[in-house]
């Protein structure tokens, strides 16, 4: 078995070296003269690295082209048509990045926002579904390996989650650069983000490989001697894919920042299919167990990342203003990137700390309430992907209007996103609330656990209703670069949640008290974010003032020609969305 495990690790490492060659290929292709380091130039001359012909092709779109379909006539309002794009005289064809940088965007309709949000939702859902497939396949193979897979996946996924701030920062900064019409700046943002993600991924890989055993021992507890060797089989292989996961995350976010949600969805579906096929081959038929599941995941991540990078490079077009993956001045560039990403990291850390504390508090309630809590919390995280996709949509669409200082358009987009979030939140609340009543067998056969799930169900529904709206507002604040406000609000809310959970030890609130704290966390964020946007320094209030001045001016000019009766209906103009 040990030789089997070593063979799998060797095969995975071979894939790692092959795909690293693709990274070098992407870096050297079309880099500006003088911007490639001597070591890389020497490497290129020795290896005769050249880009695939598909990189140089243009014209018809392919499945993974990373292109944005032309806008349908009904995507934008008739009253606010986009200005014609400036022709690109340096290139015979137009790329998605060039089209966005050279054009003014119009206010998207509800249908246009949904066309972007729905594929984004598929991207967010792919991760939980792939984890479910891995768990199912390994569980059918061995109960011991299934038990060891829990802490192993938690360790790997926790490290990756801590670096999702890179994706948030990339989407926001790139959308802002494209809204400025600065194609060179957009390439610089992507290049720096990819380089930072690659370095962070290597760091995560080394930490898990070196300290993984100690971290697993600290979390597993009494069953450590039995489960740690099994869990290490998974973490030692999964760690090899960390650089690809973070680089792929940034590449995916770059395409989303360019308003392309279809290409990342197709790549994610393709990677999921590869993962499923390899799971069945290595685990079900090859009897490789938990090590085979880890290898399947890593290979799928590698392939998906390479395809995303090719799609991203094609989207940027043939003109290179900056190397594809590079840091011109590492300390300066990293500091500049973290000026935005740092507060986002602290916000995500506060959110993670809150959810972790909820789990610790649930452990004090006993085995049955804890089991019900875990089931309902998994349901909560599954449905929160709908809200996360709305946050991404806000960050992709709003920067263009912020750069143009188009407050009326900003107000329209935000109100439409909030409208979508209310519908999505209501649907999530209804579906999640019905799970314990109609589908309890999906999770457990214990009547005691199902009874606790019924107690939690109303709280789960209310949390999901608030979460969707909260994430739409949070995405708006991220687009407006309200970073210090977000970090401070998360710090205060997390502290209050921790205090509330501490008080549960002295109050017989049971598991419902834990979920009441979670509901407070969702509702308080929603109210605080809404008040920020409605305040005199926020987006919606500025949009209302701008619209009022605009229509007052129009009304005044009309009265100058025909008096009060010349106004529409004799009642003047009003702001109508």
Q: Which residues, in sequence order, are CB contacts of 115 under 8 Å at separation 6+?
A: 75
Which helix (H) or strand (E) segment is 14 a member of?
helix 2-28
pLDDT tens-digit readout, 418-455: 999 999 899 989 988 888 778 777 666 778 888 888 89
Cα within 13 Å of Cα(67), Cβ side: 14
270: exposed, middle or buried (Cβ count in 10 Å: 0-12, 13-18, 19+): middle
- Answer left, alpha or beta for residue 353, where phi above 0 means left and psi between -120 and 50 means alpha: alpha
Q: Distance between CA 387 and CA 163 in Å, rounded?
A: 19
pLDDT tens-digit readout, 501-528: 888 766 667 888 889 999 999 999 999 9
Question: DSSP 3-state assignment of 270?
Answer: helix
Place of tokens 């709003």: 398
Provide the pLDDT confidence category of residue 7 given band limits of 50, 70 and 90.
Answer: low
pLDDT tens-digit readout, 226-262: 788 888 998 999 999 999 999 999 998 888 888 888 8
Place of tokens 């880099």: 31
| 178 and 101 Cβ atoms separated by less than 8 Å | yes
pLDDT tens-digit readout, 462-508: 999 999 999 999 989 988 888 888 888 998 988 998 888 888 766 66
pLDDT tens-digit readout, 55-84: 333 333 333 333 333 344 444 444 444 444
CA distances 360 to 310, 374, 390, 407, Å, are: 43, 11, 29, 44
Tell me how many degrees the CA angle 10-201-233 measures, rounded to the nearest 5. 40
| 193 and 337 Cβ atoms separated by less than 8 Å | yes
Length of the chain equals 577
Place of tokens 């708006």: 476
Mean pLDDT of the chain, nearest integer: 74
pLDDT of 47 reads 32
Q: Distance between CA 224 and CA 304 in Å, rounded?
A: 34
Please provide the distance, in angstroms rounded to a whole number, between the alpha carbons at the two ends of the chain: 66
Q: Tell me phi and psi for residue 108, to 5 degrees.
A: -75, 145
Q: Output the pTM of the full model.
A: 0.67
Q: Distance between CA 401 and CA 159 in Å, rounded?
A: 35
């Amino acid at each position: 078995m040990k030789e089997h495990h070593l063979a799998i690790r060797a095969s995975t490492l071979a894939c790692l070296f092959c795909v690293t060659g693709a990274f070098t290929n992407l870096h050297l292709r079309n880099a500006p003269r003088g911007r490639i380091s001597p070591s890389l130039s020497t490497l290129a001359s020795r290896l005769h690295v050249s880009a695939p012909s598909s990189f140089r092709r243009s014209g018809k779109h392919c499945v993974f082209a990373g292109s944005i379909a032309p806008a349908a006539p009904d995507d934008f309002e008739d009253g606010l048509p986009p200005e014609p794009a400036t022709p690109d005289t340096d290139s015979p064809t137009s790329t998605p990045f060039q089209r966005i940088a050279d054009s003014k965007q119009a206010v998207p309709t509800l249908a246009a926002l949904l066309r972007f949000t729905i594929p984004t939702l598929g991207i967010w859902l792919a991760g939980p579904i792939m984890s479910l497939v891995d768990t199912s396949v390994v569980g059918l193979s061995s109960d011991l390996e299934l038990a060891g897979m829990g802490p192993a996946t938690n360790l790997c996924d926790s490290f990756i989650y801590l670096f999702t701030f890179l994706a948030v920062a990339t989407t926001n900064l790139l959308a802002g650069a494209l809204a400025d019409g600065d194609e060179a700046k957009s390439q610089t943002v992507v290049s720096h983000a990819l380089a930072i993600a690659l370095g962070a991924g290597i760091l995560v890989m080394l930490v898990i490989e070196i300290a993984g055993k100690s971290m697993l021992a600290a979390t597993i507890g009494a069953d450590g001697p039995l489960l740690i060797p099994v869990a290490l089989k998974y973490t030692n292989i999964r760690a090899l894919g960390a650089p690809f996961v973070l680089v792929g995350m940034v590449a995916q976010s770059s395409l989303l920042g360019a308003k392309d949600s279809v290409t990342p969805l197709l790549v994610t579906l393709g990677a999921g299919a590869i993962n499923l096929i390899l799971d069945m081959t290595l685990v079900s038929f090859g009897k490789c167990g938990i090590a085979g599941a880890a290898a399947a995941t890593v290979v799928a991540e590698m392939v998906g990342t390479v395809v995303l990078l090719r799609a991203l490079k094609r989207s940027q077009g043939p003109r290179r203003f900056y190397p594809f993956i590079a840091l011109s001045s590492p300390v300066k560039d990293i500091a500049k990137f973290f000026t935005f990403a740092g507060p986002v990291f602290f916000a995500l850390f506060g959110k993670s700390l809150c959810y972790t504390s909820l789990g610790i508090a649930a452990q004090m309630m006993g085995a049955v309430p804890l089991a019900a809590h875990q089931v309902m919390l998994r349901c909560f995280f599954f449905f929160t992907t709908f809200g996360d996709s709305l946050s991404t949509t806000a960050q992709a669409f709003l920067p263009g209007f912020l750069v143009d200082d188009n407050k009326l358009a900003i107000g329209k987009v935000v109100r439409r996103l909030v409208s979508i979030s209310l519908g999505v939140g209501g649907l999530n609340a209804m579906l999640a609330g019905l799970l314990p009543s109609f589908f309890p067998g999906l999770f457990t056969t214990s009547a005691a656990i199902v009874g606790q799930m019924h107690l939690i169900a109303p709280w789960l529904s209310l949390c999901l209703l608030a979460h969707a709206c909260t994430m739409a507002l949070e995405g708006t604040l991220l687009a407006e670069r309200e970073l210090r406000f977000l970090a401070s609000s998360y710090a205060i809310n997390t502290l209050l949640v921790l205090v509330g959970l501490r008080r549960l030890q002295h109050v017989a609130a049971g598991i419902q008290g834990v979920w009441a704290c979670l509901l407070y966390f969702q509702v308080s964020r929603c109210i605080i974010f809404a008040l920020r946007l409605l305040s005199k320094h926020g987006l919606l209030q500025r949009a209302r003032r701008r619209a009022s001045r605009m229509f007052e001016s129009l009304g005044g000019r009309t009265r100058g020609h025909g008096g009060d009766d010349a106004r529409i209906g004799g009642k003047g103009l009003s702001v109508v969305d």
